[in-house]
């Protein structure tokens, strides 16, 4: 891994519409889609024919399609099933949101598009995004099917055109006929690798798919797809066109990846506190391996004078989780520091997050490095054209080897900053924050509208 004193890790602005991505298309039975027509890339006008939705796009600071949008949307609008691999922050949510909106007949007050997400936090974010996109439309209605949202005794059918939910709650709504399927035209599975691979979610996702009309169009989106997921997806989206990225394209180009070599577990905490005592960070997320670690670190940081929030699945209520993530998203915590487990590793977009810390490196169940979760974690920063920093702590031979394997897997440098040279990271963060202020000034603050929770789009 690379060793630096800071000269080689200056931030560079990354534009969504020109990320240099190498997109590969593969059709069923080897059909060549290399010459597939793409959307015009000079204006957002090519993204939709609905004037009110176009107004929403401009309100949300879209000016032109990203490469993923320009490639995928024409295929979707032609009715193809799609298996779309797109790194975080490249506009995949807008891609499938626009696809669902395109399918809606506003005169029919029945569910016509269904989107499944692995967590209630991500589902709430997606519905908030769609509501903001449709805020000038006045006709398209949405429904949210997540734990704690629907009365357990209710059997009132949804009348909204677009439904977003988590697998278990959607299955329950299907069983109670709250979601009626006869008019559904399109099924979206976001973070499909997580849905299909995590214990329980795969079975629930399969049950949802089995209840859909045979003619339904299926789109699977994720930043990463393992080989077994691609094979399994063949039953979910028969004949799907695969839109993929080369592995080296998967790591975010706007993120400077750093590691700090700590002496031991206790030294990790000392370095962490030194970072926050020394630097002006903005919003940041600290990832740990277990809920108990999150609580312990939060207690120690509070005792040391830091204001932090903790988010994990063992919190007392879903309402408490919602309140914490909404407050963090809107910057209501003084220090804007969130300590969490992998609950937030996928899909949660907070544009102002400038720093991600891997306090513990992610591991699979068999204790091997979790490359996918690493990618999703660091993807919480460097979003929407902004720059960001990820810092990983290593403290023993095992964590050192794991980080080397992650670096080799993605083929990108992870730079060393010595624990006694935190000022190098401090200077980098100052440049990052300055760059992000300039980006926000040019393109407008995306945090206000993009990330509002359901019914609260500003």
- The pLDDT assigned to 282 comes to 73
> DSSP letter at 45?
G
Angle formed at CA 375 by CA 292 and CA 328, multiple of 5 degrees: 55
Q: With contact defined as beta carbons under 8 Å apart, do 419 and 391 qualify?
A: no
| Proportion of the chain above pLDDT 90, given as a percent | 37
Sole residue written with tokens 């200056």: 10
User: What are the pLDDT digits (tens) for 201-213?
Assistant: 878 988 999 999 9
Q: What pTM does this model have?
A: 0.77
**Burial (0-12, 13-18, 19+ Cβ within 10 Å), 12:** exposed
Split at pLDDT 50, 70, 90, the class of 32 is low
Give the neighbor-by-neighbor strand order of the sheet with 162-165: 23-26, 241-245, 82-85, 217-222, 186-190, 113-116, 162-165, 142-145
C-alpha–C-alpha distance, residues 73 and 96, integer Å: 8
Given a cut of 80, is residue 274 above it in pLDDT? yes
Q: With contact defined as beta carbons under 8 Å apart, do 73 and 65 qualify?
A: yes
Q: Which of 54-58, 170-174, 453-457 is most confident?
A: 170-174
Sole residue written with tokens 């990820």: 390
Give the neighbor-by-neighbor strand order of the sheet with 255-261: 308-311, 337-340, 283-287, 353-358, 388-394, 255-261, 415-416
- Which residue from 430, 86, 17, 126 is spatially nearest to 252, judged by alpha carbons? 86
Q: Which residue has the higher pLDDT, 320 or 144?
A: 144
The domains found in the chain, sorted by start residue, are: 23-245 (3.40.50.300), 255-450 (3.40.50.300)
User: What are the pLDDT digits (tens) for 95-118?
Assistant: 999 999 999 999 999 999 999 998
Given a cut of 60, is residue 347 above it in pLDDT? no
Q: Under 8 Å CB-to-CB from 146, ≥6 apart: which residues?
A: 120, 123, 124, 165, 166, 169, 318
> DSSP letter at 453?
P
Q: With contact defined as beta carbons under 8 Å apart, do 314 and 383 qualify?
A: no
- The pLDDT assigned to 34 comes to 56
């Amino acid at each position: 891994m690379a060793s630096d004193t800071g000269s080689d890790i200056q931030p560079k602005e990354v534009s969504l519409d020109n990320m240099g991505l190498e997109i590969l298309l593969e059709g069923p039975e080897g059909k060549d889609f290399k010459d597939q027509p793409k959307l015009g890339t000079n204006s957002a006008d090519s993204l939709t024919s609905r004037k009110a939705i176009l107004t929403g796009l401009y309100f949300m600071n879209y000016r032109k399609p990203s490469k993923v949008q320009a490639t995928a949307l024409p295929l979707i609008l032609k009715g193809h099933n799609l298996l779309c691999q797109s790194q975080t922050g490249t506009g995949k949510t807008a891609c499938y949101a626009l696809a669902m909106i395109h399918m809606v007949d506003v005169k029919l007050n029945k569910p016509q598009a269904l989107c499944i997400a692995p967590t209630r936090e991500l589902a709430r974010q997606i519905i908030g995004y769609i509501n903001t996109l449709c805020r000038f439309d006045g006709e398209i209605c949405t429904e949210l099917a997540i734990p704690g949202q629907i009365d357990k005794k209710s059997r009132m059918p949804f009348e909204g055109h677009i439904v977003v939910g988590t697998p278990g709650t959607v299955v329950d709504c299907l069983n109670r006929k709250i979601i009626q399927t006869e008019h559904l035209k399109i099924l979206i599975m976001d973070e499909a690798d997580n849905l299909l691979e995590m214990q329980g979610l795969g079975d629930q996702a399969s049950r949802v798919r089995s209840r859909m009309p045979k003619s339904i169009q299926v789109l699977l989106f994720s930043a990463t797809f393992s080989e077994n997921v691609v094979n399994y997806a063949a039953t979910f989206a028969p004949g799907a066109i695969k839109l993929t990225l080369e592995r080296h394209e998967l790591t975010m180009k706007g993120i400077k990846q750093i590691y700090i070599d700590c002496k031991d577990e206790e030294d990790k905490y000392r370095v962490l506190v030194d970072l926050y005592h020394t630097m002006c960070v903005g919003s940041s997320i600290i990832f740990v391996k277990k809920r108990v670690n999150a609580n312990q670190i939060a207690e120690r940081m509070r005792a040391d004078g830091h204001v932090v929030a903790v988010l994990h699945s063992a919190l007392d209520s879903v309402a408490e989780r919602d309140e914490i993530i909404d407050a963090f998203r809107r910057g209501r915590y003084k220090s804007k520091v969130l300590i969490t487990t992998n609950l937030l590793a996928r899909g949660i977009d907070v544009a102002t997050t400038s720093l991600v810390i891997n306090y513990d490196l992610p591991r699979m169940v068999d204790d091997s490095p979790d490359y996918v979760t690493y990618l999703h974690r660091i993807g919480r920063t460097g979003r929407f054209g902004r720059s960001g920093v990820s810092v990983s702590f290593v403290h023993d031979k095992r964590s050192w080897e794991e980080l080397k394997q992650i670096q080799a897997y993605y083929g990108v440098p992870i730079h060393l900053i010595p624990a006694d040279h935190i000022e190098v990271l401090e200077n980098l963060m100052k440049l990052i924050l300055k760059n992000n202020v300039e980006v926000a000034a040019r393109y407008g603050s995306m945090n206000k509208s993009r990330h509002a929770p359901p019914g609260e789009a500003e």
